[in-house]
Amino acid sequence: MKYDTVVIGSGITGLTAALVLAQRGQRVAIVEKNRFAAPLLRRFRRGGVWCDPGFHYSGGFEPGGALSVIFRYLRMGDSIRPVPMNADGFDILRMGDMEVSIPVGLDRVEDALRAAFPQSEKAVRGYIEKVNAIMSLTPFLSFDLDYRDFSNNQHMIDESLDSFLDGLGAEKNLKELLGQYGQFLYGVPGNEVPFYIHALIMGSFYRSSQTLANGGDELVDAFLHRLDQEGVVMFCGSPVAGIEVDNNRTITGVKLGNGEMLECGSCISTIHPGLLVDLLPGGAVRPAFLSRLRGLENTEAAFATYLEVDDVPARLNDANFYRMRHPEALTHNSILAIMMAGSMSHGSRKKGLCVLKESPNSPISKELYGTSRRASEYVEYKEMETANTVERLLECYPEMRGKIRVADSATPHTYERYTGTPGGSMYGVKHSVNQIKLNSMTSIRGFYLAGQSILMPGIMGGAVSGVVTAANIIGLETVWNEVKQWRQ
């Protein structure tokens, strides 16, 4: 059997792309190396609490928002019911002695930042104005646009967040705070992130940040149901081991690790692009492209600790708490993010919390982890990082001492094992002013790249990338006009 399109990877990007194509009548298959779909979205249960690996909250769930419109277009609107977070402060940011709560709505974010940084009033206004302007020029963040606007990239200027804020005369701590906040949500420091990437992602969170009662499961279940209705075939448990290309540099199929061949007319790869180096046949692309894939710089990984708690500090029920690095501090030089308790505790009697910590360099080599995961060095490292996370949590919330138990933790190696993403990198390839963006098109006809590493990270970035890449195959104008009809 020949498929119109084979999608490699069943993360948010792959699931979205596959469903768009199938809805338009294509015969589609998805290949996922894990035994189950969407390893970053699928929750697991430990010690009586639900643990979310790669989804906690997102922008775009509000009516008319990117995710809500896409999910309605994919006829999943009824199964996904976002839960609002604290409108007066969905993210609480603490840096040094300063604390800023980020409320819902760009106007209110402006007020909050102005109150916290009275000396930078003008800079704050200029910042919010520009975020708004960039969003209004970007399809999916604005549904007023025409399909032709997809090729307008005038606003996608290569200026870093830091240099943009310097230009506005922003004070150092404002720059530091916005830079670190963003870095946690897209993985790139302020001196490297292109301002428009910061604007699109942070602007979406500012507009409306919401979560889902059943966490990532709510997304996966809705997708699997719809994909099944549309006849999409899922191959789980065997990785794609090779991409088949003919003499005209046209895709012909993908080969699975178990030897199975899936013939196809086109193929969308949503895996980390660096992994393609081992999957593309010799001669299919130029060595320069492979060198480029090998040299890609990635975002940093995170270390996740899942806790069972007797009591959740009240404000963590519907808000996340970020402990930023202090610019002058020598210790605590990684950001700690305590994710709101909401979805972890939902539907279970016990209460849970997930604490994420930036984890740039694990001392454990890939070989060591690969050969024997229970090697004592690894266990030791994991225990140490977990203990350190708990200690830092207690510094922020001393009242929790004696009232928490570790349910589990996930190291960068755990993430890499499940997703293949090198180093367990949180958001894949860095979108940086120092790194030219990869194109979705490749020199192999019918072979496309999509996902967090190509367009934008996060659930919203992945979903948008999935729609846009599918639209490149079946026609951007048609798909965009259809999607737009679901905005109300």
Partner 1 sequence: MTEQEIAERVKKIMVEEFELKEEILVPTASLYDELGLDSLDSVDLVVALEREFSFKVVRNLDEEKIRAIRQLKDIHEFIMEKQKAMQGEPK
Q: Rounded to whole angstroms, how far apart are CA atoms 473 and 482?
A: 15
What 3-state class would DSSP assign to 166?
helix
Which one, 290 or 394, has the nearer CB to partner 1? 290
Q: Rounded to whole angstroms, how far apart are CA atoms 130 and 362?
A: 37
Closest CA to 199 of 146, 134, 279, 261: 134
Question: At closest approach, how far in Å is the CB of 230 from partner 1?
Answer: 32
Structure tokens belonging to residue 382: 């994991």
Regarding 341 and contact with ligand FAD (CB under 6 A), the answer is no
255-260 — which CB contacts under 8 Å span 24+ positions? 256/31, 257/33, 260/235
**Which of the choices partner 1, ligand FAD, none does residue 210 contact, using the CB cut-off of 5 to 8 A by kind?**
none
Among 86, 204, 419, 472, binds ligand FAD (CB under 6 A): 419
Question: At closest approach, how far in Å is the CB of 441 from partner 1?
Answer: 7
Which one, 1 or 436, has the nearer CB to partner 1? 436
**Which of the choices partner 1, ligand FAD, none does residue 295 contact, using the CB cut-off of 5 to 8 A by kind?**
partner 1
Question: At closest approach, how far in Å is the CB of 91 from ligand FAD?
Answer: 11
**Which of the choices partner 1, ligand FAD, none does residue 208 contact, using the CB cut-off of 5 to 8 A by kind?**
none
* Cβ atoms 469, 19 nearer than 8 A: no
Regarding 239 and contact with ligand FAD (CB under 6 A), the answer is yes
Q: Where are the alpha helices (DSSP H) in 264-375?
A: 287-294, 342-345, 366-371
Which amino acid, one-letter code, is at 257? G
Regarding 58 and contact with ligand FAD (CB under 6 A), the answer is yes
Regarding 265 and contact with ligand FAD (CB under 6 A), the answer is no
Which one, 195 or 205, has the nearer CB to partner 1? 195
Question: At closest approach, how far in Å is the CB of 449 from partner 1?
Answer: 11
**Which of the choices ligand FAD, partner 1, none does residue 58 contact, using the CB cut-off of 5 to 8 A by kind?**
ligand FAD
Regarding 182 and contact with ligand FAD (CB under 6 A), the answer is no
Closest CA to 246 of 264, 222, 260, 220: 264
Q: Rounded to whole angstroms, how far apart are CA atoms 420 and 451?
A: 14
Question: At closest approach, how far in Å is the CB of 243 from partner 1?
Answer: 17
| N-to-C CA span, the chain | 39
Question: At closest approach, how far in Å is the CB of 169 from ligand FAD?
Answer: 32
Q: Rounded to whole angstroms, how far apart are CA atoms 336 and 339?
A: 10
Count of residues making up the chain: 488
Q: Specify the stretch interacting with ligand FAD by CB under 6 A; choose among 70-78, 95-103, 104-112, 452-460.
A: 452-460
Checking DSSP bridges between strand 320-323 and strand 336-339, what pairing results, if any?
antiparallel
**Which of the choices ligand FAD, partner 1, none does residue 121 contact, using the CB cut-off of 5 to 8 A by kind?**
none
Beta bridge mates, 83 = 211
**Which of the choices ligand FAD, partner 1, none does residue 157 contact, using the CB cut-off of 5 to 8 A by kind?**
partner 1
Regarding 412 and contact with ligand FAD (CB under 6 A), the answer is no
Q: Rounded to whole angstroms, how far apart are CA atoms 488 and 29?
A: 31
Which one, 35 or 294, has the nearer CB to partner 1? 294
**Which of the choices ligand FAD, partner 1, none does residue 451 contact, using the CB cut-off of 5 to 8 A by kind?**
ligand FAD
Regarding 6 and contact with ligand FAD (CB under 6 A), the answer is no
* Cβ atoms 125, 196 nearer than 8 A: no
What 3-state class would DSSP assign to 83?
strand
Beta bridge mates, 429 = 298
Q: Any residues with CB less than 8 A from the CB of 483 and at least 6 apart, and which? A: 69, 70, 73, 143, 467
* Cβ atoms 311, 317 nearer than 8 A: no
**CA dist list (Å): 259 to 2, 239, 242, 272, 414:** 16, 10, 10, 22, 26
**Which of the choices partner 1, ligand FAD, none does residue 315 contact, using the CB cut-off of 5 to 8 A by kind?**
none
Residues 360-379 that bind ligand FAD (CB under 6 A): none
Query: Which single residue brings its beta carbon nearest to ligand FAD?
Result: 11
Residues binding partner 1 (CB under 8 A): 157-159, 286-289, 291-292, 295, 433-434, 436, 439, 441-443
Which one, 190 or 451, has the nearer CB to ligand FAD? 451
Which one, 96 or 446, has the nearer CB to partner 1? 446
Which amino acid, one-letter code, is at 292? R
**Which of the choices partner 1, ligand FAD, none does residue 427 contact, using the CB cut-off of 5 to 8 A by kind?**
ligand FAD
Q: Rounded to whole angstroms, how far apart are CA atoms 147 and 258?
A: 41
Structure tokens belonging to residue 458: 């996060």
Count of residues touching ligand FAD (by CB under 6 A): 40
Closest CA to 416 of 365, 454, 376, 353: 365
**Which of the choices partner 1, ligand FAD, none does residue 443 contact, using the CB cut-off of 5 to 8 A by kind?**
partner 1
Which one, 82 or 175, has the nearer CB to ligand FAD? 82
Question: At closest approach, how far in Å is the CB of 163 from ligand FAD?
Answer: 25
Q: Is 446 exposed, middle or buried (0-12, 13-18, 19+ CB in 10 A)?
A: middle
**Which of the choices partner 1, ligand FAD, none does residue 421 contact, using the CB cut-off of 5 to 8 A by kind?**
ligand FAD
Q: Which residues bind ligand FAD (CB under 6 A)?
A: 8-14, 31-34, 38-40, 54-58, 239-240, 270-271, 275, 302, 304, 356, 415, 419-421, 426-427, 451-452, 457-460, 462
